[in-house]
Every structure is written in C-alpha cells, then in structure tokens.
Amino acid sequence: MSSSKIRLGILGGGGNSLIGILHRIASSMFDKYQIVGGVFNPIWDENIDFANRIGLPVDRIYIDFETLIEQELQLPEDQRMQVISILTPNFLHFPMAKKLLENGFHVICEKPLTTTYKEAQELYTLLQDKKTIFAVTYTYTGYPMIRQMREMVKSGVIGKVQKIDAQYYQGWINPIIHDIEKRKTTWRLNPEKSGGSCCIGDIGTHAFDMLEYVSGVKIENILADLNHVYDDNPMDVDGTILLRCSNDVKGVICASQIATGEENSFVVKIYGDKAGLKWEQENPNYLYLMEEGKPLQVLKPGHEYNSKLSLDGTKLPPGHPEGIFDAMGNIYKGVARAICSEPFNVGEFPTIIDGVRGMSFIEKAVSSHKNGNSWIAIDENYTL
C-alpha cells in the first residue's frame, strides 16, 4: 500500500450501484486515495464476492459497520482508514456518520445528510469538537462550468442578482407510483428508510444547495406545495417551492420524479440586473451568458478565459467533454487537500453546513406543505 495515498473505506455501494461506481472512480482520479476495505453489502457472501470482483484483498472487508470500526481502531494509526465514504440508504447516514466522527475518522457522506434536521444538527455540533473533515456529496457543484458560473456571479459579471431558478425533473417514479405493489419495493418511497421526503429529499435538496452555491445569496424563507399523487402514498414525488432570499432576491425550485419521459433534467438559472447565466446538467460543458441586446455567449471548460476554480476542476483539453464522474472527482480532490492540510479554494467541496442547511430545507418544505402552504424560515448561523 502506498503510504502517500489517503486510506479510504467505503460503506455501501456494492453490486451494480451507480453511486458505488461513481465514488470509486472519482476517488481514483487524481491518485489521492487508495480504497483499502469496507462493508459493501450487508450479506456476507455478496460482500466478499464484490471485493473479489473489484480486486480488493478481503482481510479488511468486514461483516458489518460495527466490526469495521472496532478492528480498524486496533490497527496502527498509519495503517487504519483515514476517511470513510457513506453510500448507504438515507436512514443509515446518521448512525454511521456519528460513530465515525466519535472515533476520529474523516467522513464523505452522500446526500441527504440524515433523515431529520435534528440529526443533522447533532452531527454539526459533534464535528465542532472533533475538527475532522466532513464532506456532503452534492455532486453537481464539482462541474467546471458550475464553478465558472459561481465565480462569474461573484465577480459581478451579471450585476446584482435579482432572481434564482432551478428545475430538476426526472420521470423514473412515474411507472412505479401507480402500482401499489411496486411502491413497496422502492426504498425511496419508504419513510423509514428515506426519511420525511422522497422527491425534495432526493433531488430538491440538490437544487437548494446549487442555487446557494452559484448565486451567493442565502435562501431564508420558503413556501412549498408538494404532490403525493395518491392519498395512501406518504412520500412527495413532485413539488414547487417559492423562495425568499437575502438581498431581496426571489426565486423558485421545481422538482419532480413523475415528469414522464424526463431523465435527469437539472437546469439552473441566475439572473442579475446586467445579464443572466444558465446551465443544464444534461449538457454540462456549456454555460450560457445572456446579456440584453447582445448575442448569446457560450462558455466551455478548459479555456483560459475561465476562472481559477473552474480550470482547477478541468481535466481535459477544450473540446473533450467532462461528466459526472469528473464532477465527483473534483469533490474528492478538494477533500483530499483538506485532509492533507493543503491550500484549497472555498467551494471545492460541500461541507457539513451544506448538509445541515439541506436538511433544514427538506423538513421546512414538508412542514410548509402540511401547514397549508405557509411561508417558513430556513435556519441559519452555521459556521466552520
């Protein structure tokens, strides 16, 4: 094992899990990490078979999470896992992250951070004491042109921000929601595993985090109207949320998993008093600059006109498309720099604050809907 690489453990993500593939490839991109073990599957034989399939020695493949913690702590500090990625269903995020923090591990956690806002606050408080690195993988913030968008807004290219808008449409739940038996087989529609929200917790939280990331404004109050389609379905699968933000900015988030025929249509738009910017996840290498009375401008990654943050996250020459694996790889790279106490730019990876605010947004959206579509405040005052 190379002593120069960060020793990475993984929880979940076995089998054909897209998230598992995404994290494993991302962690290998910059030669910063070496996967040394983990718990990929709760079924022992499948856990071992998967480790063999991806070429890991089985001596650090553990039967369960508790055993991993116990046996890793018995190893010398220069051999044990340094950071552990949590890729499990939502309900396991909190107990795993809490125990990892209590035992001094760095953590990379899939979103949403937890299943309740209270749990998220508890992790935040614990992290203040432990002072380890904690990242929440809002993957899309790793795209070079999203980082370029952030820097252009920050530098005043579009003037004063006056409207923010995010639309995230998928259609994958549509063939499931109309069949009560199929619903029972989908963990995202199970409150015990997914938490209090399906659509807003899964993709609406991406839109919330993204709008704050690129615009620089804070979403302060929301009004939500959610759709469950059927009265006997406890989970939202569609929603529209009005936003009131700092600096008197207004906005909207539209999220749906019953947008029939849509695949992963995530569109982000920021409008200032001088110009607007638009980005589409299904065409992530194009950032559109819209100025009054001028032709549409298209910015692409890898060119010297882009910001330092964008160029640092660009791996290929102009004209070579970069995708979601590259975006996640940029997040892992930022985490590696933080773990190794190297200089890094603000915005290289989402922190626990993004995760906590995301959970506040999810719970407040559900509460706003249940309370007759009333305005409700997003909690603030979180710092690292």
Contacts of 61 (CB under 8 A, 6+ apart): 37, 38, 39, 40, 47, 48, 51
Could you tell me if 240 and 98 lie in one domain?
no
pLDDT in tens, 137-170: 999 999 999 999 999 999 999 999 999 999 999 9
How many distinct structural domains can be found in the chain? 2
Of 139, 170, 198, the residue that ends a domain is: 139
Could you tell me if 135 and 148 lie in one domain?
no
Query: How many Å from the N-terminal Cα to the C-terminal Cα in the chain?
Result: 33
Q: Are strands 83-86 and 161-169 parallel, antiparallel or unpaired?
A: unpaired
pLDDT grade, residue 195 (50/70/90)?
very high
Measured distance CA(294)–CA(297) in Å, rounded: 8
CATH of the domain at 171: 3.30.360.10
Of 118, 139, 160, the residue that ends a domain is: 139
* pLDDT value at 64 more than 50: yes
Could you tell me if 216 and 250 lie in one domain?
yes
Could you tell me if 119 and 154 lie in one domain?
no
Could you tell me if 35 and 128 lie in one domain?
yes
In a domain, 339, yes or no: no
Could you tell me if 295 and 216 lie in one domain?
yes
Task: Tell me which H or E stretch contains 365.
Answer: helix 352-370
In a domain, 344, yes or no: no
The alpha carbon dihedral of 321, 292, 211, 267 has a sign of negative
pLDDT grade, residue 264 (50/70/90)?
very high
pLDDT at position 1, please? 46
Could you tell me if 293 and 222 lie in one domain?
yes
Could you tell me if 127 and 169 lie in one domain?
no
In a domain, 108, yes or no: yes
Two tokens, residue 377: 């405040």
pLDDT at position 194, please? 94
* pLDDT value at 71 more than 60: yes
Of 80, 105, 139, the residue that ends a domain is: 139
In a domain, 73, yes or no: yes
pTM of the entire predicted model: 0.93
Q: Are strands 6-11 and 161-169 parallel, antiparallel or unpaired?
A: unpaired
Measured distance CA(195)–CA(89) in Å, rounded: 10
In a domain, 342, yes or no: no
pLDDT at position 383, please? 78
Measured distance CA(341)–CA(129) in Å, rounded: 18
Could you tell me if 113 and 154 lie in one domain?
no
Three-state DSSP at 340 gives coil
Burial (CB < 10 A; 0-12, 13-18, 19+), residue 128, is exposed
In a domain, 198, yes or no: yes
Could you tell me if 89 and 161 lie in one domain?
no
* pLDDT value at 256 more than 60: yes
Could you tell me if 173 and 94 lie in one domain?
no
Rounded to 5 degrees, what are φ and ψ at 320?
Answer: -110, 110
Question: How many CA atoms does the CB half-sphere of 193 hold within 13 Å?
Answer: 9
CATH of the domain at 57: 3.40.50.720
More confident of the two residues 67 and 344: 67
Could you tell me if 133 and 163 lie in one domain?
no
pLDDT in tens, 73-129: 999 999 999 999 999 999 999 999 999 999 999 999 999 999 999 999 999 999 999
Give the range of the structural domain holding residue 63, as residue numbers without chain letter.
6-139
In a domain, 1, yes or no: no
In a domain, 85, yes or no: yes
